[in-house]
Amino acid sequence: MISKVVEKMLGSRKNSYLIPADMVANVSESNHLNHALLVLTKVKYAKIPVLDKKQHIKGLLSLSMITDTMLGLNGIDPSHLTRLTVADVMDTEVPTIHQPYDIEEILHLLVNQPFLVVVDDDSLFKGIITRREVMKEVNYLAHELEKEYEVKPNPGYVKI
């Protein structure tokens, strides 16, 4: 359990965490890698969601998953890019959370993931929650905590 005050302050604008699906660049699992390389090069995000035709989340794709197919014994070889598809190289382990999500879960998962994929009950892609959005709320908490609350050392607290 996390502190109720922290939960309240970080969660007060909770919906603002979500970057909605239509604002997030994505690729289709059936796209060839030359197309995906173009998309990832241009959007500049390190990793983007992979969707099927019905907007279900299927995986995550980064540039390194694509460039890894180009490392040959005789240097950089792009010849596989027109043959392989996103499905061939994507990471299918996707850190997902469901709405309504809770702050404790978000904080915990974002230690090891730069962003979380939000899905509905039918696994449809709803958007992402990024460390960036949470960092904005942490700044808010850092500035406002001792304005909104009186904070005093707990006399009964024993540091373990």
For a copy of itself, the binding residues (CB under 8 A) are: 1-7, 10, 34, 37-38, 40-42, 44, 46-47, 62-64, 67-68, 70-71, 75-78, 81-82, 103-104, 107-108, 110-112, 114, 131-132, 134-136, 138-139, 141-154, 157, 159
36 class by beta-carbon count within 10 Å (0-12 exposed, 13-18 middle, 19+ buried): buried
Residue nearer to a copy of itself on the CB measure, 77 or 120: 77
Nearer to a copy of itself, 14 or 56 (CB): 14
| Nearest approach, Cβ of residue 157 and a copy of itself (Å) | 5
CB atoms within 10 A of CB 153: 6
Collapsing DSSP to helix, strand or coil, 101 comes out as coil
Distance CA 111, CA 132 (A): 12
Q: Which is nearer to a copy of itself, 1 or 23 (CB)?
A: 1
In the complex, what is the shortest distance from the CB of residue 89 to a copy of itself, in angstroms, rounded to a whole number? Answer: 12
CA-closest candidate to residue 61, choices 18, 96, 97, 31: 31
